[in-house]
Amino acid sequence: MTHPCAPASPEPGPPPAAEESGLSNPGQPASEPAPAPDATPVQVETPAGAQGANPVASRSGRAYEGVVQWVEDGIVSGRLRVGDVLPAERDLAAQLAVSRAVVREGVRALHAIGVVDSRVGAGAAGGTVITAVPTEALNRFLRMHVALAQFSLLDVVDVRCSLEGLSARLAARNATDADHARLADLITAMRDDDLPPDVFNACDTDFHVAIARAAGNALATDLTVAIRESMRSPIRHGMNHVDDWPAVRARLREEHEAIAAALADGDGSRAADLLDAHIRRASEQLLGDGAQAAGDTA
C-alpha cells in the first residue's frame, strides 16, 4: 500500500539552453509536431534616445540582465502577455543594441525561472514564447530565496502563521470530502510509533500543505508550500535531536488532530488559532530559541 507521505517529486532539471543559431529548444526533436499559436512576434520599441547606445545593459551590471529586465517590464506593463512570441534572436539583439550572445544568456535565465518556453517550428509555430510560470517553478524559486536569505526564525514563523491562518479559514469553508480524507490519512500515518522522524516530518509537511490546498487559494498554497519546504531541513534536524522525541511526536499528533477536527466542523477561526499555537510551539521546541535562521540546517 502506498504510504500517504509520498516523497516529493524529483525537481525538474534546468531547461535546455538555446541553440547557438537561434532560440529554439534543442532538447525537443525537430520532427515533433509543434503547437501553432496565433501569436506573432512582439515588436520591440527601443527607448527614445537610445539609438547607437545599449538601451538595456546600462540598467544592470550584467548585460543579459537588461534583456531579462526588458521582458519583465513588458510583462508588468501588459505589453507582453502569455502566448506572445519574442522577436527572433537576431532582431531582438539589434533592437536592444546588445550581442546575440547576451540575448541568448537572457533567454536562458528566463527559461530557468519558467517565464519563457521554446517551441520548434517555422514562423508563428516556433520561437520563444511567454508562458505562465508553472507552480513548481515558482515554488522552487521561493524555496531557494527563503532558505538563502537567512530570514530570522521569528519572521518566518510570523509569515507562516498569517498564511496558514488564512488557509485554515478558507479551508473550513471550501474543503471537500477528499480534502478531509487526505488530512485523516496523514493523521493516521503519523500515529505509527515506528515512523522515523524523517518520514514523520514528510507527513507533517504534507499535512500543512494539504490544508493550504483545501483552501482553494492558489497563491496562498504556493507561498505556504515554499515556506514550509524551506523549513523542511531545519525541522527534520530538530526532530532528530530534540529531547524526548516520543513525547514531542505525541503532542504534534494531538495538535494535528485538533486542527483537522476544527476544519471538519467548519470552524475556521478555531482552526486558525490552533494552527498559530501549533506552529509557534513546534518552532520553539524544534528550532531552538529563535537565533537559528530559516535556512540554517547545522
Q: What does the pLDDT look like over 118-127, one tens digit per residue?
A: 876 545 555 8
R_g of the chain computed on alpha carbons:
24
Instruction: Pick the more confident residue, 292 or 109.
Output: 109
Q: What mean pLDDT is reported for the chain?
A: 78
CA neighbours within 13 Å on the CB side: how many for 68? 17
- pLDDT above 90 covers a percentage of the chain that reads 43
Mean pLDDT of all residues in 170-193? 96
d(CA 179, CA 210): 7
What pLDDT score was predicted for residue 151? 78
Cell representation of residue 217: 487559494
Mean pLDDT of all residues in 49-76? 70
DSSP-derived 3-state class of residue 129: strand
d(CA 121, CA 30): 8
- Grid coordinates 527563503 are at which residue? 146
DSSP-derived 3-state class of residue 106: helix
Burial of 66 (0-12, 13-18, 19+ CB in 10 A): buried
pLDDT-based confidence at residue 225 (cuts at 50, 70, 90): confident
What pLDDT score was predicted for residue 220? 86
pLDDT tens per residue across span 234-285: 888 888 888 899 999 999 999 999 999 999 999 999 999 999 999 999 988 8
| Residue count (the chain) | 298
pTM metric for this prediction:
0.65
pLDDT tens per residue across span 7-58: 444 344 444 433 333 343 333 333 333 344 445 555 544 443 334 445 555 4
**Residue 1 confidence (pLDDT) above 80:** no
Q: How far apart are the first and last CA of the chain?
A: 35
